[in-house]
Structure 1
Amino acid sequence: MLSAINYSLLATIFLVLTLIFPSEGQLSSTFYSSTCSNVSSIVRSAVQQALQSDSRIGASLSRLHFHDCFVNGCDASILLDQGGNITQSEKNAAPNVNSIRGFDVVDNIKSSLESSCPGVVSCADILALAAESSVSLSGGPSWNVLLGRRDGLTANQAGANSSIPSPFESLANVTSKFSAVGLDTTDLVALSGAHTFGRAQCQFFSQRLFNFSGTGSPDPTLNSTYLATLQQNCPQSGSGSTLNNLDPSTPDTFDNNYFTNLLINQGLLQTDQELFSSNGSSTISIVNNFANNQSAFFEAFVQSMINMGNISPLTGSQGEIRTDCKKLNGS
């Protein structure tokens, strides 16, 4: 039998080893404290600079993180260009092509980090940090981002086509896609609240404006005044790429107006309004809570972003730390 002293010594050694070599799958807000201590400030500075010339970029960077995590986990697979071993890029998947943006900002951040601490910070962690900076710099909450992800060695275009929620889907389908990656209904509503800033092209909601579900009439859940505005912005013969504010009240500010808009039937996307207008849905009470209490929304959003950032990260010796986020090392 081990003596009490020996047992105590072994326990101490185990604790020290655990601190030095964290278990795989465990992310930490202090992951880069000794290897790249200024990582957060470098990312924040780059996002702040980008926001000065592009008011949409905060929403776009947040969306990149979201679309990344839903496919193969948070592994920066969304950033890989087609070429070499990457035969099909996620950038060309239906939910992403001609839609996701912000890659130049990610590349700028990566260049700055490679100058400051080469080969240390993953592209997957850059996406997580850029999302937090985008939200907090736009008036939303700030949080300690958990870090330590590594970058994936593959892209999954088919997975992007099937796993990323579409603005045309039923609430049941979207809920199922969140559930498939371990996120619940509160996560769904809270993360949908990211539509409090940013834009959407007419093509992603025009089916609501004139002939909803083949009825020959607009979506009855659309506020009539809002409908008239949208029909003017997105005429039937117009360009499907015309941009519209996701939040018509404060389009560049991260607040809870997204939820107050839903209460008056001013959700832009079908999947937005369905959170409140689907009879009997458990999402209705959550929308009401967030609409009436911005602090409750911010608190839930932070937790849901952390939950999302924990989807199947590569850690330890898995994957790699890309030196160029667009391509695998050595390719």
Structure 2
Amino acid sequence: MVAPSKANLEDFFKPFHHFGGGWNPEEQVLPPQQEEEQTPGAQVNEPRGSYTGGAYGVGAPPPPPQAPGAAKKGADASAGYNKPGEGVNKGEGLVVGFYDKSCPAAERIVREWLQKVLKSNPYATANIIRLAFHDCAVGGCDASILLDAVAQGDKVEKGSIFNGVSLKGADLIDDLKMRFEEECPQTVSCADAIAFSANEAMAMSTGVRQRPLAGRRDSVNSLATAADQNLASPTATVDQMSEIFRKLGFNAEEMVVLLGAHSIGTAHCDLFMDRVYNFRNTQKPDPVLPLPYVDQLKGICTDPGTPQFRNPPVNFDETPYALDNLYFRNLVQNKSLLLSDSSLLGDARTGPTVRQMADDDMLFRKRFAELFARLTSFNVLTGNNGEVRRTCRSTN
């Protein structure tokens, strides 16, 4: 896979505010302090727009960077960092009920905590699901996404152009980790906190409940360059997206199902504005989009010149808090905001799955739950690898 240059990526992502969040049935515009999300993807196709949704950045500022040598005593600074193809893969070493003796209330704590969070922030499910993908896609599900700094001083994943200010949900995990520490100190890892909360978010969004696998440990390293190489833009081609998902162990059919996470996302107008007003510099809308849909989007995205992050977000489908198959039903009607999503229908490798998911809502919900469990078990650290952090923002 040929990656674009860092300079090109930085230019491309300056306007990006990645997908997530939810739908307010009374209005298209999210309240100013609501949160934002993003999705799996691949390389840049064409520079355009901005994703939105999410929650990171709410509350207190992050702690100062750690001093050199603050990593786990006697450990190489990179020893706990799980790179693709290394460490424990495919969830080996993970079990259901891992904390039944050491922290028996763990799963209940997550469920009650998220129920409370959703009362004030209904977008939290989208934020957490996106955060889990961004953690697992970069070296494995090891909570490297949560670190604010590492001992060797390298730029961490939060600083990647694919994360940055658009990454939401880390503060939610901070809150959950604090609750774990109160109940059973230094027992539940940050990686399991992400996986448990993502599993609960998935259950609340799909209606399909399953007990989470556990036993993950936390990385002591985090590299922005790793995120740059393993996360990608929402305008990716099918080939580019397929390569990203292949490295995670998923085929084309499975990729399509997981991209159904867009069912609870939103996107800022600047992400798809050119599809509405000036597709490929034609001064016309993308001919694939139905004209009534174009008119609907123009009614929301009224000013193509609105500065990034200040234009309205638009929901991916009409059921923003439910991970259902409406996303696929809309794709079949060519009603998609993102160019990457639009490309799925016409490709022989992905089109049949789009139609299959559009025809069977329960099949989609069940398949998503199965595949999401696999995703959150990818390339984990277990046993004596890594550590169990006291706080998710820094190593011990």
Shorter chain as normaliser: what TM range? 0.7 to 0.9
* Alpha-carbon distance in 1 for matches of 2:312, 2:137: 25
Confirm or deny that 1:98 pairs with 2:186. no
Contact 2:147–2:392 (CA under 8 A) maintained in structure 1: yes
Confirm or deny that 1:249 pairs with 2:345. no
Q: Where in structure 1 are there 5+ consecutive unaligned residues?
A: 1-23
* Alpha-carbon distance in 2 for matches of 1:263, 1:236: 27
* Alpha-carbon distance in 1 for matches of 2:130, 2:199: 11
| More off after superposition, 211-220 vs 107-116 | 211-220
Q: Offset of 1:244 from its aligned partner?
A: 2.6
- Partner residue of 2:189? 122
Contact 1:60–1:198 (CA under 8 A) maintained in structure 2: no
Q: Offset of 1:64 from its aligned partner?
A: 0.1
- The amino acid that maps onto 1:261 is N
- The amino acid that maps onto 1:53 is S
| More off after superposition, 133-142 vs 90-99 | 133-142
Confirm or deny that 1:209 pairs with 2:261. no
SS of residue matched to 1:37: coil
* Alpha-carbon distance in 1 for matches of 2:379, 2:210: 20
Give 1:178's match in structure 2, choosing from 242, 245, 256: 245
- Partner residue of 2:290? 223
- Partner residue of 1:88? 155
Q: Relative to structure 1, is the Cα distance of residues 118 and 133 closer, same or farther in structure 2, using a 3 angstrom cutoff?
A: same
Q: Offset of 1:38 from its aligned partner?
A: 1.4
Q: Relative to structure 1, is the Cα distance of residues 254 and 86 closer, same or farther in structure 2, using a 3 angstrom cutoff?
A: farther
Confirm or deny that 1:292 pairs with 2:292. no
1:232-243 maps to which residues of 2 (within 5 A)?
232-234=299-301, 235-241=303-309, 242-243=311-312
Deviation >6 Å, runs of 4+ = none
Q: Relative to structure 1, is the Cα distance of residues 243 and 103 closer, same or farther in structure 2, using a 3 angstrom cutoff?
A: farther
* Alpha-carbon distance in 1 for matches of 2:359, 2:146: 37
* Alpha-carbon distance in 2 for matches of 1:154, 1:203: 34
SS of residue matched to 1:107: helix
Q: Relative to structure 1, is the Cα distance of residues 239 and 41 closer, same or farther in structure 2, using a 3 angstrom cutoff?
A: farther
Query: C-alpha offsets along residues 52-109 of structure 1, whole Å, 9 cap, x if unaligned?
Result: 1112111011000001100011111111113543521211212212212122211110
Contact 2:154–2:223 (CA under 8 A) maintained in structure 1: no
Contact 1:196–1:258 (CA under 8 A) maintained in structure 2: yes
- Partner residue of 1:75? 142
Confirm or deny that 1:258 pairs with 2:327. yes
Question: Percent same amino acid at aligned positions?
Answer: 34
Q: Offset of 1:220 from its aligned partner?
A: 2.3
Q: Offset of 1:33 from its aligned partner?
A: 1.3
Compute the RMSD of aligned alpha carbons: 1.8
SS of residue matched to 1:98: helix
Q: Relative to structure 1, is the Cα distance of residues 188 and 238 closer, same or farther in structure 2, using a 3 angstrom cutoff?
A: same
- The amino acid that maps onto 2:233 is S
Query: C-alpha offsets along residues 168-217 of structure 1, whole Å, 9 cap, x if unaligned?
Result: 11111011110012111122111111111132223333342223334443
Contact 2:267–2:313 (CA under 8 A) maintained in structure 1: yes
Say which structure, 1 or 2, has more relative contact order (CA 8 Å, 6+ apart): 2
1:1-331 maps to which residues of 2 (within 5 A)?
25-82=92-149, 84-234=151-301, 235-241=303-309, 242-276=311-345, 278-279=346-347, 281-329=348-396
| More off after superposition, 264-273 vs 202-211 | 202-211
* Alpha-carbon distance in 2 for matches of 1:229, 1:100: 28
Q: Relative to structure 1, is the Cα distance of residues 127 and 250 closer, same or farther in structure 2, using a 3 angstrom cutoff?
A: same
Query: C-alpha offsets along residues 209-229 of structure 1, whole Å, 9 cap, x if unaligned?
Result: 223334443222223222223
Using structure 1 for the length normalisation, give the TM-score.
0.86
Query: C-alpha offsets along residues 119-165 of structure 1, whole Å, 9 cap, x if unaligned?
Result: 11111111111112112223432222211111111112112112113
Give 1 or 2 for the bigger CA radius of gyration: 1
User: Would you tell me which structure has more helix in proportion to its own residues?
Assistant: 1
Q: Relative to structure 1, is the Cα distance of residues 95 and 233 closer, same or farther in structure 2, using a 3 angstrom cutoff?
A: farther
* Alpha-carbon distance in 1 for matches of 2:263, 2:305: 28
Residue-pair matches, total: 304
Q: Offset of 1:318 from its aligned partner?
A: 0.6
Contact 2:117–2:124 (CA under 8 A) maintained in structure 1: yes
SS of residue matched to 1:200: strand
- The amino acid that maps onto 2:334 is N
Q: Where in structure 2 are there 5+ consecutive unaligned residues?
A: 1-90
SS of residue matched to 2:259: helix
Q: Relative to structure 1, is the Cα distance of residues 55 and 272 closer, same or farther in structure 2, using a 3 angstrom cutoff?
A: same
SS of residue matched to 2:213: coil
Contact 1:262–1:273 (CA under 8 A) maintained in structure 2: yes
* Alpha-carbon distance in 2 for matches of 1:31, 1:243: 43
Using structure 2 for the length normalisation, give the TM-score.
0.73
Q: Offset of 1:254 from its aligned partner?
A: 2.1
